Chain A
Amino acid sequence: MTDATQSIGILQFALDGIVEQQQTIANNIANEDTPGYQADQVTFESSLSNALANGGEATAESVPEGLSPGANGNNVSLPTEMTLMQENDLQNQTVVNALDDQFALLSDAITG
Chain B
Amino acid sequence: MWEAIDIAGSGASVDQTWIDSIGGNVANMNDGVTPGQPVYQAQYIDAAAQAEPGDPQSIGDGYGVRVQSVVEGPAQGQIEYDPTDPVANAQGNVEFPVVNLGSEMTDLVQSQTSYQANSAVMSHATSAYQSILSIKA
Contacts and interface: CB of A to CB of B under 8 A. Distances in A.
Nearest to B5: A26
Interface in B67-114: 110-111, 113-114
A5 interface: no
A81 B118 CA distance: 11
Contacts of A81: 117
Given A92-B131, A96-B135, A103-B135, A31 B120 contact: no
A34 B47 contact: yes
Given A82-B120, A85-B121, A93-B131, A23 B7 contact: yes
Interface string A4-36: 000000000001000100110111011111110
Given A30-B65, A34-B65, A92 B128 contact: yes
Which secondary structure dominates where chain B touches chain A? helix
Interface residues of B, number: 36
Contacts, number: 94
Contacts of A22: 4, 124-125, 128
Interface in A82-105: 82, 85, 88-89, 92-93, 96, 99-100, 103
Interface of B: 3-5, 7-8, 10-11, 14, 18, 46-49, 61-65, 110-111, 113-114, 117-118, 120-121, 124-125, 127-128, 131-132, 134-137
